[in-house]
Amino acid sequence: MTVNRIALVDVNNFYVSCERVFDPKLEGRPVVVLSNNDGCVVARSAEAKALGIATGAPWFQLQAQAKAWGLVARSSNYELYGDLSAKVMEVVGRFGTWQEVYSIDESFIGLMGDSAQLHATGAEVRAAVMRHVGVPVCVGVAATKTLAKFANRIAKQNPALAGVCALDAMPEGHVARIQERVPASGLWGVGGKTSSKLKMMGIESIADLKAADPAMIRKKFSVVLQRTVMELNGTECIPHTEEHVDKQQIMFSRSFSTPVTTVAGMEEVMAIYAQRGAARLNQEGLRASTMTVTAGTSRFAGGEGSFPAVTSRFMTPTQDPIVLIRAAVAAIGQSAVPGAAYLRAGVMFNGLEPASGTGMLDVFGPAAEQADVGDVLGEVRNKFGSMAIGIGVGGLAQAPAWSMKREHSSPRYTTEWKELPVVRA
């Protein structure tokens, strides 16, 4: 019988898988991807997990044993990960009656068919992503988003399923037995505190939660957990959208490799960060009504250099990098404390609206601010790479001394002309 179902497609160990696409020598080796400034582990391969390496483990503690373990570390290569994510989502979207990109490595899609067809389509999705992008995915197919997440978990943890689990195609009673063994904390959206409270009520497994009274769950917890119970019983309660959820905020925030101690240095930081934030606005087709500038010292520095967030409001929503740079530099120049050792900074944009709208004409704004500077810069970067052009210090080819440390970074194989992979035949 043909039915409508939801599939969750999730890339396995996404950051590590991206690193392996262009460096096959990493296959089968323990690999970790590090956080900003190569501080701690944020992603692990299955081999690294087998060594007992935990997420959040400081790299300096692992470095001494890395050679003996054969452990490979990579700095976070966000440009590569973002580009490969977009490619994965484009391939996955070809198979769905609708698509909702849930995160950088997860996407829900709508499927139709009988149990055999649903399983076959899941296998096709997995093969297509591997063929066209080169990263492994697992596919979970079920009647609701909650069950699709659960099915994806089954696919990941059972190698015999070859990365695909369609609940409709599983033997009768098999899913129920799995739900009896898996704790409720293994469900999407059930955190540790909620799980502990459920245990006090005698609800320990997913099967226990499925059998609970939805009205009682809503009274004791929330409507969100009530929806989880209903979804476990096959009632679709979490809506989907074929469009991306409207963004409420865009942020560009980084830590420095070395402290910045001068106001002039912080103005340079903000000129670059505001420009990169403007590039994200342009890429997303958005403009902002407000921009908030933040900066911080070490948490051990006491009140020295404390920097209250400064928000700039624009009469006309904008994505113009010149306007944003001027506002960010002015904010940091007024508030930064000379001599304070700043270790991080960021810009945050709120009050977002589509840039395609007509908007209100600012007849008093300077001519330079009326020009489509962001569009021009975006077109050049799309053609020649993200570092091809910039404004002021943001256009310099050599990165400042305070730039984020990335000593183990792989090339940006797909977004920078100078770093394209070379094939020798």
CATH assignment at residue 383: 3.30.1490.100
Same-domain check for residues 103 and 186: no
- pLDDT tens across the length of the chain (425 residues): 788 999 999 999 999 999 999 998 999 999 999 987 788 898 999 999 999 999 888 988 998 888 999 999 999 887 788 889 889 999 999 999 888 888 888 999 999 999 999 999 999 999 999 999 999 999 999 999 999 999 999 999 999 999 999 999 988 789 899 989 989 888 888 888 888 899 888 988 899 999 989 899 899 888 989 999 999 999 988 887 654 444 567 888 777 878 888 888 888 888 888 888 888 888 888 888 888 888 888 765 555 555 667 888 888 888 888 899 999 999 888 888 888 888 888 888 888 888 765 444 454 454 444 456 666 666 666 666 655 566 766 555 556 655 556 667 788 788 777 888 888 77
Specify if 408 maps to a domain. no
* Residue reference for tokens 């002039």: 264
User: Which amino acid is located at 405 in the chain?
Assistant: K
Instruction: Give DSSP secondary structure letters for 179-235.
Output: HHHSBGGGSTT--HHHHHHHHHTT--BHHHHHHS-HHHHHHHT-HHHHHHHHHHTT-
Shared-domain flag, residues 234 and 100: no
Beta strands 137-142 and 164-166 are parallel
Fill in the amino acid letter for 176. A
pTM for the whole structure: 0.69
The burial of 423, by beta-carbon neighbours within 10 Å (0-12 exposed, 13-18 middle, 19 or more buried), is given as exposed
Please tell me whether residues 280 and 178 are part of one structural domain.
no
Question: In what helix (H) or strand (E) does residue 42 lie, and over which residues does it extend?
Answer: strand 41-44
Q: With the C-alpha atoms ordered 233, 235, 239, 240, is the resulting torsion angle positive or negative? A: positive
Residues 98 and 193 in one domain: no
Sheet of strand 3-11: strand arrangement: 99-103, 106-113, 3-11, 137-142, 164-166
Residues 283, 228, single domain; the answer is no
> What is the identity of the amino acid at 346?
G
Does residue 199 sit in the same domain as residue 314? no
Q: Are residues 156 and 214 in the same domain?
A: no
Last residue of a domain, one of 208, 243, 278: 243
CATH number of domain containing 162 = 3.30.70.270
Picking from 36, 11, 38, 74, the residue whose alpha carbon sits closest to that of residue 411 is 74
In angstroms, the CA 148 to CA 104 distance is: 18
Residue that is last in its domain, among 243, 278, 307: 243
Query: How many independent structural domains does the chain possess?
Result: 3
- Residue 292 structural domain: 249-355+371-395
Residue 39 lies in a domain: yes
